[in-house]
Structures are given as C-alpha cells and as structure tokens.
Structure 1
Amino acid sequence: MAIPKVDLRGLDPSSPGWASARAAVTAAMLENGCVVAACDTLGPELRRALFERAMPELFSFPAETKQRNVSSDAALRGYVGKLAGLDFESFNVAAVTDPSSVRDFSSIFWPRGNPEFCDTVISFVSNLLKLEHTVEKMTLDGLGVREESIAGHRQTLTHSLRLSHYSVPEESKMGVTLPRHTDPSFTTAIVQHEVEGLEVQAKDGSWITIPPEADTITIIAGDLLTVVTNGRVPACIHRVKTASNRERFSVLFTAVAKNGAVLSPMDELVDRDHPLMYNPLKTDEYVVFRYSEEGLKVSNPLEEFCGVHKSGSSTE
C-alpha cells in the first residue's frame, strides 16, 4: 500500500491535466488526509543550500543560543530540544512568509546578518507557499467549495516553518522517534531530505512509509482542515520512525489559523447528506485544550472540544 502520488508539475487551473489532478488530490485527501505531490517546487540547488549548508550550520550552535528561538503561540512553540524519549530537535520560524520574520530569526544566530541563509529560506518558503495554495485549492474546489469561499479561507491563515534534525540513533534506540499524532493546523507540507522516517496511518490501522524522494513533497491535513471541510477530510495520523543509522533533516511548512480566528465548517459542505459535525472553534482555545491534561486523556480531542456529537472516549 502507498499514498497516491499526484504529478503537479507545470499545472495551473488552465492546464489540460488540472481537472484529473484535482480529482486525484481530492480523493487522496479524503481517503488518508494526505497526498504526495510530484513537483518541481524545489530544485536540487535550493535543497542543497538548505539541507546541506544552512541547516547543519544552524544546528551546530550551542544550546543556549538555540533556546533564544521562542514563540508565544502554543501551537507553534519555538526551539524544541531533545526532550525525554525524543531524539530530535527543531526550530520554528513564525509568520515565515514575511521576509522580515526570516531576518529576525537569522539575527538570533548571526547578529551581523547572514544574507545567504535568509535568501535560501525565503526562496524555499515562497515555493512551498505556491504548492500549498495549489493543493488547498484542488482539495476545496474538488469538494465543491466556491472560489470566493476559498479566498476568504486564505485570509484566516498564517504560516510557519519548522526545521528539524534527528540525530544518528544508537542501534538499541532505533524505532519510533516521534509518536503518532495529528497536527492542530490546516495543512503541513513535509520535505524529507534523503533519509526516510515519515509514516502515515491508513484507515485499517497499518502504517505506510513515505519515501524521501527528491522530486516529491508530502502534504498532510491537520485538525483545522477537518473542521472547515465538515469532517470530509480526516486529519492525517502520522509519526516518525527511525529505520536507519543516519542523521535526518526535514522541513515542515505549516498553514495555521491566525490568533483569535474562529472557524466553522464551510457552508457548501453542510447539507442533508452531510449534517453539521463541528461547532464554531476558537483556534487558540482549541490548542490550549488539546495540550491540556484533559485534552491528552481523550482519543479525539477535536471531537471532544467542538464536536456536535462528542465521543468523550478516553485514551486511558
């Protein structure tokens, strides 16, 4: 079993292959909340600039410098160090589509500036944003959402970039590095560099490995996309499993709701055959609940927080 790979190279809404690609993207998102996009979004030189130069240099800084990367947003956080049981670390760049945010992040590590690092990240983000818009448009349009509703939806979004590094594990510690979870976001575009690790869970409970192919990017749905699509698109359950003794770098480009945003299912996706599944959700309140003691005890925190028919099922 494999997650469907859809070729999006050179496509736009006027292209002859747009309709068939849109149908394939929508079907993949409905089935697993995940699609693998074959694309020319990131060229080999841009990948090398980020994964082989910028990121190794970034993660070589001492811990006290890394810890200056902080965030007031509970959904994003800042620097994540090697926590108990998790052999990885990562940085977060909030509001990353604004070049000034990238420069502010860079100044933590290079007070005198690092134009090469900033240019690399800004170019990376610009290209990923185009892909995210394409997959988002295909998914929502494929479900029958009007163009004006899609445009309105985009006004609620902001984006972040998480740069992650997984150390070379001891043989005895090889296994699941990051446990199964969904993301409290709309979508996340995941770029793996050469080393495998990402796995998504199919509806039958089996795990599907996503190969780290250089011409592909994986887009997964988060909890918030489930809300706005009225449950049509499931949040993708995924994990990271260390299957080799090589260090691993990956990048996550995430679309999240702006602070204070209130979300609810799109009008076009609520009808007699698809009754309302979620009450309006304040995104910042949901994130607080999800990571609270109460939220961590239930198997489906989204359903418990705003579901019309709450499950209340516990993980204990």
Structure 2
Amino acid sequence: MGSISTTKIPVLDFTNQDLIPDTPLWVSTSVEACKALEEYGCFVAVYGGAPPHLAGAAFSAAEELFCLPTETKRKNVNDKPYHGYVGQMSVIPLHEGLGIDYVTDRDHVRKFTELMWPQGNDPFCETVYSFSNAIAELDRLVVRMIFENYRVGKYYESHIGSKTYLLKFLKYSPPPEANPTPAFPMHTDKTFLSILRQNDVNGLEVKSKDGEWIALELPPNSYVVMAGDVSMGWSNDRIRSCEHRVTMSGNKKRYTLGLFSFVTGTISVPEELVDEKDYPLKYKPFDNISLIEFYATDEGRKAENTLKAYCGVW
C-alpha cells in the first residue's frame, strides 16, 4: 500500500471571533489556507459553526439512515452520477453512501426524508438541514478567502450565487480482519470544495506532491476542507485537486458527513489568473455536471487527469 507518513496537514482555526474580513488575521489565515490548498489540496479547519450537539445529532441521523432496508436506500436515485445511493458493490465492499442534492433547501431535505420514511421523520429532516447550512457557511468563508487571496474578490458573489450543495452520508465497515484494508480507491472529487466531518474513526489519507501518503488524525470539532477538480480548473492549476483514499482497519464503523459544492453554469478561468509567462491558460470553459458525466464514462475513469482530459488546453 506504500509508505504512510504521519506528517500533519495544516490545521487552521476558524473559531476565533476576530476572524473578520479585511483584518490582519483574516488575511493571514487566507494566505495559509491557499498555501495548504496549493501544496496538499486540503487543510483541516477547526470550526464551531456546527456545535458538537448538532454534529452528534447528524451522526445519529446517519446511523438511523443506514439502518434502513437496502431496498429503501436504493430509492435514493439521481440523474447526476454519484449523487444517489452507492452500495453493495464488489469493488468497494466496505463502502456505502447516500446523497441529498440541494441540501441547503429545506424542501429538498423534506422530499428525501419522506422518500426514506413515508410516515415522516421531522427530527432527521431538521437536523440534516441545520447541519448542512452550518457547514455551507464554512464553505462560503473559505471560498471568500480563496477569491480575495487571488485578488478576484469581485467575482465572489456571483460564484456563491451559482453554487449548489450535496450532502453525502458515507459509511465504511470494518474489514473482515483488523489489518489495514483499502475501502475506497484513490480519486479526486469533481467539486469546487468538499468539506468532510468524520466520527472518531480515522481512515482518510491524502497524497502529497511528492507521492507520499499522509494519514489524517483530526482534532475535535474539525473538518477536512478539500479542493476538487473544479477549483483546480478555475484557479488555472494554482490549487491542487486533492488526491485521497480511505483505508480501514480495526473493528469500528467509520461514518463521514461530506458537504460537496458544485457550480452551475459555465466555469472559466478568471483573466486575472492567466499569465502567459507563469500561468498560461490551462483549461477551456467547462461545465461542472458535464465533467462528472465524463468521469462516469470509461474514458473519464481511465484518464490520468480527468479535468485535463475533459477540457485541458493542449
């Protein structure tokens, strides 16, 4: 499986009440966040916007969801690849997942809830809606830092207005033996950002620029903020799309709540991020959902770099 490093991914504090736009702390944190995204494709954010009791309730909701019969969970279908139910697959036997699209909209959460529980389940609905909106606020904070750090802040509002959010409930079962076992293969997300909150079972590993695997050990109340292919394309390769995988060991189940952000409409590299000397244009304008659909094809899955294969300037 290759050597595993215990090197720490940068941990940034988002709990400080003085973290306000246009202050020195905001600027320094923005620089650190972008440096981490450029180097590792991710960082760890300690964030209090979702109080421990809300995060705990969200994990309880996840356990309740995964206890439903498989035939019920299979009702979670979506025309967009990888947005609905994934499970019972021989290539990833330890993994199971469900998704709620447009999760920051209460009506969409309610529709999903009624699909899983026709008799209704208001506590599940309210917990998921509240948790997702709390994490979406972290997404907006980080995106604002990215845009301002690269001096393209004038595009921030239109970008946020074009975003949609998918919440994925991810479950990883312990391996038949306690030995480290691949649970999900290496990949990059087709998102702008992915924000992950896990229970107390580790397993996420990210790949450094030099090819070394780094096992993440997360502090309490922390989230992994991960760059996807869309932010790599938008930033003209300044940001790295995070290569990551999941390895399971021990005898405990691992639950992860992932908020995945997507961009509607055409995505183009801002002209300010094109420099013919250091950063010549790397990508043609592209569509986020079409990128996901390309990735779902044989050609897309086999490509060494999905985004470059899809819309790279050669």
**Do the two structures share a fold, i.e. TM-score over 0.5?**
yes
Deviation at 1:16, TM superposition (A): 4.7
Deviation at 1:25, TM superposition (A): 0.7
Q: How is 1:65-144 mapped onto 2 (pairs within 5 angstroms)?
A: 65-74=72-81, 76-86=82-92, 87-144=94-151
**C-alpha distance in 2 between matches for 1:172 and 1:22:** 40
**C-alpha distance in 1 between matches for 2:297 and 2:241:** 19
CA offsets, 1:177-222, max 9 Å, x none? Answer: 0000001111100101110011110011111111243221011011
Counterpart residue identity of residue 249, structure 1:
Y
Does the residue aligned with 1:35 lie in a helix, a strand or coil? strand
Aligned to 2:288: 283
Does the residue aligned with 2:8 lie in a helix, a strand or coil? coil
**C-alpha distance in 2 between matches for 1:119 and 1:188:** 22
Deviation at 1:301, TM superposition (A): 1.9
Aligned to 2:227: 221
Deviation at 1:156, TM superposition (A): 2.2
CA offsets, 1:61-81, max 9 Å, x none? Answer: 11111111111112x421111
Question: Unaligned regions of 5+ residues in structure 1, if any?
Answer: 310-316
User: 2:275 pairs with 253, 271, 276, which one?
Assistant: 271
What TM-score do you get using the length of structure 1 for normalisation? 0.92
Aligned to 2:183: 177
User: 2:236 pairs with 223, 230, 233, which one?
Assistant: 230
Deviation at 1:286, TM superposition (A): 2.1
Deviation at 1:285, TM superposition (A): 2.6
Deviation at 1:119, TM superposition (A): 1.3
User: 2:266 pairs with 262, 272, 280, which one?
Assistant: 262
User: 2:67 pairs with 60, 65, 79, which one?
Assistant: 60
**C-alpha distance in 2 between matches for 1:204 and 1:15:** 34
Is the alpha carbon distance of 1:253 and 1:246 closer, same or farther for their aligned partners in structure 2, counting shifts above 3 Å?
Answer: same
| Contact preservation (8 Å) 1:37, 1:217 | yes
**C-alpha distance in 2 between matches for 1:275 and 1:225:** 16
CA offsets, 1:244-277, max 9 Å, x none? Answer: 221111011000123xx22111122112332111
For these two proteins, the number of residue pairs brought into alignment is: 304
Q: How is 1:297-312 mapped onto 2 (pairs within 5 angstroms)?
A: 297-309=302-314
Q: 1 or 2 for the larger relative contact order (CA 8 Å, sep ≥6)? A: 2
What TM-score do you get using the length of structure 2 for normalisation? 0.93
Is the alpha carbon distance of 1:214 and 1:112 closer, same or farther for their aligned partners in structure 2, counting shifts above 3 Å?
Answer: same
- Identical aligned pairs, as a percentage? 35
Counterpart residue identity of residue 68, structure 2:
F
Aligned to 2:48: 40
Counterpart residue identity of residue 206, structure 1:
E
Is the alpha carbon distance of 1:296 and 1:99 closer, same or farther for their aligned partners in structure 2, counting shifts above 3 Å?
Answer: same
Stretches (4+) displaced over 6 A: none
Query: Which segment is superposed worse, 129-138 or 294-303?
Result: 294-303
**C-alpha distance in 1 between matches for 2:70 and 2:44:** 34
